[in-house]
Structure formats: C-alpha cells, structure tokens
Structure 1
Amino acid sequence: MNEAEGLRQRRPLRPQVITEDNAAQESKGGSTYSNKVFRMTFMTLAVSLIIPLFGAIVFLDSPIDPQPISFKEPPPLSGTLEPNFKLRQAERLFENQLVGPESIANIGDVLFTGTADGKILKIEDGQIQTIARLGHGPCGGDEPMCGRPLGIRVGPKNSLFVADAYYGIFEIFPSSGEVQRLVSSKTPIEGKNLSFVNDLTLTRDGRKIYFTDSSSKWHRKDYCLLIMEATDDGRLLEYDTVTKEVKVLMGGLRFPNGVQLSPAEDFVLVAETTMARIRRYYVSGLMKGGEDMFVENMPGFPDNIRLSSSGGYWVAMSAIRASPGFSMVDFLSDKPWIKRIIFKLLSQETVMKFVPKNSLVVELSETGSYRRSFHDPNGMVATYISEAHEHNGHLYLGSFRSPFICRLNLKDV
C-alpha cells in the first residue's frame, strides 16, 4: 500500500449535511405518497357510501309519477312586461291577523275573504269578524279538517259563493251567517272525485256557477306535487242552481286554477297553472261548447283571474319564468326522472324554498294582450300572491300563505 492509498483510507467520514432543498425534496416525496394514500382512502369511502345511497334512492318510493311536458321559451321580460318595483308600493293590511287570504270580494266597502283555518271573514271599518266556518272544528291546523276556502264571489242577492278545496261549493249569507252547501266534494262527478275545488265565477242572475277542480287525485295541501307531476286530470265544471245538476265542460287540464266569466257572459277563462297559460271555453253564442287558447306561454304561472275596470282582466302570479334567467319548473318539465329523485329525498316545503318569491300581476286586455305589469322582485312586500281584486281605485292582493292582505293604489302606479 502506498502513502496516497493509506491517506485515503484514513480520511475521516464527512458528516451528512441536511439542507432546505434536501428536506423539501424528501418532504415532497412523502407528501405525494400521503396524498395518494388519502385520495385512495377517500375514493374508497365515497364509493362505498355512494353506491348504497344510489341503491337506496332507486328503491325508495316517489310520491309522484311525473309526466313529461314541454314549454316554449318564456317571453322576454321587456316592454309591457319590463320588471319594476310597483308592487312594493303596496301597503300591508291586518298583518299577522289573518293567514292565507286567497281570494277577496266586496259588498260596498265591506271586504270578505277566506283564510287558511277555514274561516270566512268580514272586514269592515278596520275590524275583522268571523261570519262562518266551513270545516269541522276544532281543526288544530289540520287543513283537510279545517277546510280551505279559496275562490269567493258575491251573488245577485249579496250572498257569498265560496269554493272550499275539501268540502265543495257553498252559499253563505253574511247577515245571518247561514251556510248552505250547493255541491259536495264527496259526490263524484262523472266517475271522478272532486279532490281540489279551487275557484268559481257565476252569472249575474246567479243561476250558473262555473268552477274548477284542480285534480281528482291531489288535494290542495299537495299542490306542489300536483305541479311537479304535471297531472292532467283537472276539470272545468258547471253547476245549475235551479236544476242542481253538475256537468263537466272541460277535462284533461293540468292544474286548472282561477276562472272568470267574460263581461258579456259568452265565455269562461281558465288559468291552467302548470302550463303557464289561460284557456277559453265558450258557454253561449255561436261558439257554445267550443274552446281555444286565450293567452299562452305566459311570463309566470297564473293563479286567479278577475275583471279589471277597463274591461280586461287582472291575473296574479306568485312565481315567474324569468327571461333572461332560470325557471326551475321549465328546466324540470321534460325530466321526470329528476323530479322523482327530488321528491324521494325532499319534502314539499323544502322544495318550495328553492322557488324564488317573485310576485307579478298583469292586466290583460279583452283580447288577451298585455296592458301593464306590476312586479315585486324577490317578494319584498307582496308575497305568494294569488289574486288581484280591484275595488274603488285599489288592487287588493290576496295570498295563499302570507299573513296579510296587500292594497295597491292604482293612482300611484
């Protein structure tokens, strides 16, 4: 061994120096491995949970059996339909003193309405008085037990005609509180139940009453299911107060809702809520027994229809089809499988929370064109509106669930 080789063998070992670069490189390698392990573990857990979940969803019962329907593109919200804030100029009356004043009628300056607890109320000089109850008490918040008065009209002898969703058609005498049932929902009409009596309109002499039954399957408390299933078992019916006969005028309607007899009493308008349109049925004249479309592809889903002082019609809508924008009902219309999944997992109340509270009232001409529109984007003042009843220069706005009546001075808008 020479000297150089000996020196090399005797040279001391160099200590290993840990630098930041070395540490980072080692950390990176360890981190990558840990991330891979985490991702694999997460994916395994996710798959093990999702597969049984989807399996459970498949075998869960859906309360609805949706029918696919199709809509045209909603009309653009421009021109006469341009969004505004005019409904926000309305004042709330009797807040938290009544709930769900769906429809409103007046005899002189005295107002009448029906509420969610089955009561018929008289409103005079700022005071509220119960004049009748249509359901069975004590109802304790059970809607089918309470009854649910919806459409309300004044007859030729200043009696009230009321459509109750669960019990049928009634005549009520405000002075005495006497209640007479004219049509019982327990009596099938042409083999089908009256499960959701909704609105009514009558001739000036009071002989003929035209009313809607929104479904022979669904009750009012399930109106969300009725809309989403797009059930086509709704009807327009006629009751003759002299002969006591009821007959079907139109069938196959998807959620027929508000009705209004024309000023000349030659046709009846019917709001077909699910389809965002208004149908017309001729009850007299050369076209008697015929039907056609009065307004189609509306900017929202129509509820009650009432006469305007200009000879046209007020139509209330609690949900719009924004254009530009997004309408959940439009999007889901041709996707029954998504609707089934939604209602397998969510309740009606939960689904309703996803529906924007955009209130809209339109005035139609006698031919169905749009004269003007009043909006409340996001429903800041007027919410869940179901009717616009004109009286003495004001619109009184009914609601199917709000705890107040709104009043809009037409001079202000």
Structure 2
Amino acid sequence: MEAKCSPATLLLLLSSSLWMLLLLLQAPSMVSCHEEMKSIYVGQQVLPMRIGRPAFGPESLAFDHRGGGPYTGVSNGRVLRWRGARRGWAEFAHNYKHATVAECAAKKKLVVPESACGRPLGLQFHRASGDLYFADAYLGLMRVGRRGGLARAVATEAGGAPLNFVNGVDIDQETGHVYFTDSSAAYQRSDYMMIILTGDATGRLLRYDPSTGNATVLASGLAFPNGVALSADGSHVVVAETASCRLLRHWLRGPRAGSTEPFADLPGYPDNVRRDDGRGGYWVALNRDKSWAADGTTPRSVAAVRVRAEDGAAAEALRGLGNATVSEVLEREGALWLGSVDTPYVGLFRISEL
C-alpha cells in the first residue's frame, strides 16, 4: 500500500538513522494514485558528468540564451558551467564570501558548511538580458550578468520580512519577472528537516520585478514550498509543496488571479518543477517516493513524474535510478538532464521518445 505523505514519513526519508522508530509512526495510506503512469526505466543508461571535489550536489540546471551549459549551483557556493566532455566544469559565478571568507577561497578546496559560503539552489536565465538569477538558500535572490563573475543579491526581504530559505526560481521571459520561493520563515536549509517535523507552514511564493527592484509576496502559509515553474501561457505558476506531496497552482491572471489551489497529488516528495520540452506538462523531481519507507529502493521506485498541464495527472514516471535522489529533471532536445542535491555529478539520459 502507498504510504501517506506525512511529517513522520518524510523525516524517515531524510534520516535513515530514525528508520525503525518513524516507520512505527507512519500514518494510514492515502488514496492510491498514478497507477496508469507510463514507466521510463533508466537503469545504467545515465551518463554522469562529474564535478570536481570537494563540490557536489548540482541541485538545479539551466541553459543560457545561446544554448550553452548546463549551469548548476554546487555545495561550495559557486555556480558552474559545463563546457563539454573534454573541458568539463568551470566556475561561472561566485558570491562576495569567496573573497572575504578565507575558507571559501577557490584555492582552499575545503569541505565547509553550506551556510559559510552560500548554497545556490534553483536557477534560471533571463534570455533577453543574459542575466542569470539563482536562489542562494542563505544569501537571497542573486543575479549575475551573462559574463559571470561576482553575483549580487537583488532581494533579501519581501513584505517586511527577511528571506530565510530561498529555494526555487523561474522567470517570465516576456516580462522579466522572477518567481521564487522562500521555504520557511522559521528554519534555514541547514535545519530543513525541522520544517517537516514541526509542521511548519511559513513558506512563501514571491515575485521580483527587476524594473523596480522590489520583491512582493504572492502567497504565504505554505508548507515547504520548493520548486516553481511558470505555465506556458504565463497565466499561473506551479509550486511544489514538499511537505504535502503535492503541486499548487497560483493564478497570476484571469478571474482567479491572486488565488492558490491544489493542482496535483504526487506519489512522492517533490523538489524542483520544470516545464517539459513543449509537450504540455511539467517534470517534477521526487526526493523519494512514498513507498520507500516500507520497501526501500526497488527497480520500480519513482524518481520523477511528468504531470499533464491540463489536469495535473501523472502521465509518466522515471524509475530505476537506484539510491540516487533527484532534485530536478530538465528535458531538452531529446534528453533528460538530472540534478541531485546529493550526488557529485549531473546525470544525462538520452531518449528517442517518451
């Protein structure tokens, strides 16, 4: 039976040392969902694009206005760019701490706490300007020009409250508005398990307007809002609410503008959300599926799902990735690029069709 999306179950997924204790606390199962999903079995077909030590955890992925990349943020606070198999990864952007905090200097090559040097999570390019925006979990919403270098914070507060755990990012390419999430007002990323354990629902969905430099609150009272994706027509954004195992839809235009509603029930705990490559849906990465607590990792474990934009139904499931967690799936030109907050590589899975 499918496990319920509950605080106890998610904490179990994040902390294996509490496995037996929290399994006993697991609540009854929710309604079974998505059995009709088409399965895509990855197996050993993922090509790892390894990141140089000590950095790891390429959480999110983006391509620039010329198709270069992907770009990704890693655990030592930097944003890297992929330059091809022969040249590998190179630094594209950094924050002020890499010049002012000794242990964050590039030459140190130390493993340091994320909070010491910053932690880029979601990222996206504004194609017209070439600017890269990314969510630094500790420093705020950041921006760097098309040539890279020093990234600066463009938003550190909204609605009179500081940003505390900036997470997902997407951009309206027409207006330049940046949509992003602040996962909790009470806990930072270093204490993210406490968001679940305490039932915290202080997360927010926000919008940054580069023409005014202001960040406004679109929705509040969210339970661990994570990834965010703008709809193809720009009428709404889809937000992953990790603690509730679901997607939300926040309307930007039309008669329901300003309202937030449930959009999709998911078979696991969502991280980032990205529109698919023109097929009318969204790829939703799952940190773990709900059955992991009882069954562990199996060949049928779901690492991500593609949901349909019209009704939120899960159409396809990505399976067979073993113990590797997935934080983002980016579909591009017949391939799936896989990000993970835990691995020392970006995964590339080439497909002929889905």
Matched ranges for 1:279-298 at <5 A: 279-296=248-265, 298=266
TM-score (norm 2): 0.80
CA drift of 1:261 comes to 0.4
Deviations 1:277-325 (A, max 9, x none): 00000011222112211102x1100110001021210000021112xx7
Take 2:280 and 2:34, find their aligned partners in 1: how far apart are those partners? 24
Take 1:149 and 1:313, find their aligned partners in 2: how far apart are those partners? 22
> Given the alignment, which residue of 206, 224, 232 partners 1:237?
206
> Given the alignment, which residue of 129, 135, 138 partners 1:157?
129
CA drift of 1:148 comes to 0.3
CA drift of 1:145 comes to 1.6
Cross-structure match for 2:228: 259
> Given the alignment, which residue of 291, 302, 318 partners 2:270?
302
Q: RMSD over aligned Cα, in angstroms?
A: 2.5
Cross-structure match for 1:131: 92
Cross-structure match for 1:86: 42
CA drift of 1:130 comes to 0.5
Please state if 1:193 is matched with 2:162: yes
Point out the structure with max Rg over C-alpha: 1
CA contact (8 A) 1:303 1:317 kept: yes
Aligned length: 310
- The change in CA–CA distance for 1:269 and 1:69 in structure 2 (over 3 A counts) is farther
CA drift of 1:79 comes to 2.7
Matched ranges for 1:31-70 at <5 A: none
Cross-structure match for 1:278: 247
Take 2:219 and 2:244, find their aligned partners in 1: how far apart are those partners? 15
Provide the secondary structure at the position in 2 that maps to 1:402: coil
Take 1:377 and 1:407, find their aligned partners in 2: how far apart are those partners? 12
CA contact (8 A) 2:96 2:150 kept: no
Q: Which structure shows the bigger proportion of residues in strand conformation?
A: 2
- The change in CA–CA distance for 1:400 and 1:408 in structure 2 (over 3 A counts) is same
Provide the secondary structure at the position in 2 that maps to 1:89: coil
Take 2:96 and 2:284, find their aligned partners in 1: how far apart are those partners? 28
CA drift of 1:169 comes to 0.9
CA drift of 1:75 comes to 2.4
> Given the alignment, which residue of 369, 372, 376 partners 2:320?
376
Cross-structure match for 1:172: 144
> Given the alignment, which residue of 278, 300, 305 partners 1:362?
305
CA contact (8 A) 2:34 2:313 kept: no
In structure 1, stretches of 5+ residues that fail to align are: 1-67, 329-354
CA contact (8 A) 1:103 1:113 kept: yes
Provide the secondary structure at the position in 2 that maps to 1:411: coil
Letter in 2 for 1:129: A
TM-score (norm 1): 0.70
CA drift of 1:70 comes to 7.5
Take 2:337 and 2:150, find their aligned partners in 1: how far apart are those partners? 26
Letter in 2 for 1:366: A
- The change in CA–CA distance for 1:74 and 1:273 in structure 2 (over 3 A counts) is farther
Cross-structure match for 1:312: 281
> Given the alignment, which residue of 139, 146, 153 partners 1:181?
153
Letter in 1 for 2:334: G
Deviations 1:257-292 (A, max 9, x none): 000000100001110001000000001122211221
Provide the secondary structure at the position in 1 that maps to 2:249: strand
Provide the secondary structure at the position in 2 that maps to 1:100: coil
CA drift of 1:182 comes to 1.0
Of 383-392 and 73-82, deviating more is: 73-82
> Given the alignment, which residue of 46, 56, 60 partners 1:99?
56
Identity %: 30
Q: Which structure shows the bigger proportion of residues in helix conformation?
A: 1
CA drift of 1:174 comes to 3.6
CA contact (8 A) 2:171 2:179 kept: yes
CA contact (8 A) 2:42 2:320 kept: yes
Take 1:302 and 1:388, find their aligned partners in 2: how far apart are those partners? 11
Letter in 1 for 2:187: W
Letter in 2 for 1:169: L
CA drift of 1:391 comes to 1.8
CA drift of 1:111 comes to 1.5
Cross-structure match for 2:78: 119
